[in-house]
């Protein structure tokens, strides 16, 4: 049975495919006869911005139930039980966050905030993830800023991993 994230990825791929097909159909109907067709963009590699969402979701998954791999031939993200492994070089294991990287993210986020009561609460809670989340929940603006920051850090980590 597919996981929720697999269903989301499948839906996104389906929407993209249907959009591409609709665009081709529109061009076929609306280009004058004998006109040269418009060149379409070449297929992007697996690590393009189109797939960055899937890679980011896999990187941020901390359920512990799944291991996530990048299929280097198709560009798909493959989720398997955390007890399974897939063989390289076709499959590259997407890195996981660690307690240290999480703590470093919290420190970096607090360091970039302007002095405020919310910043002080977060600074006291850096070492305790549950307390940090509770402090974030008290301020929706800080909470949104945190998730935006976290997403940016995840994308940077994935881009670094892809470059290796």
Give the model confidence (pLDDT) of 58-73 as tens digits.
999 988 888 999 988 8
Task: Please report the pLDDT score of residue 6 as a whole number.
Answer: 67
* Domain spans, the chain: 4-93, 99-163
Average pLDDT rounded to a whole number, residues 27-55? 60
Phi, psi of 153 (to 5 degrees): -65, -40
Reply yes or no on whether the pLDDT at 47 is more than 70: no
pTM over 0.75: no
Task: Please report the pLDDT score of residue 62 as a whole number.
Answer: 85
Phi-psi region of 75 (alpha: psi -120 to 50; beta: other; left: phi over 0): left
More confident residue, 48 or 88: 88
Q: Which of 84, 82, 108 is nearest to 96 (CA)?
A: 82
Give the model confidence (pLDDT) of 103-130 as tens digits.
999 999 999 999 999 999 999 999 999 9
């Amino acid at each position: 049975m597919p996981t929720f994230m697999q269903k989301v990825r499948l839906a996104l791929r389906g929407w993209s495919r249907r959009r591409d097909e609709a665009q081709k159909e529109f061009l076929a109907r609306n280009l004058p006869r004998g006109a040269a067709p418009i060149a379409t963009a070449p297929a992007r590699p697996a690590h393009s911005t189109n797939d960055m969402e899937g890679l980011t979701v896999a990187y941020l998954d901390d359920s512990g139930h799944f291991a996530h791999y990048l299929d280097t031939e198709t560009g798909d993200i493959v989720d398997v039980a955390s007890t399974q492994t897939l063989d390289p070089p076709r499959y590259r294991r997407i890195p996981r966050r660690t307690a240290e990287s999480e703590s470093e993210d919290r420190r970096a986020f607090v360091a970039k905030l302007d002095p405020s009561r919310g910043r002080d609460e977060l600074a006291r809670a850096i070492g305790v993830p549950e307390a940090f989340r509770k402090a974030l929940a008290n301020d929706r603006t800080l909470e949104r800023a945190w998730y935006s920051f976290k997403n940016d850090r995840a994308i940077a980590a994935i881009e670094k991993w892809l470059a290796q």
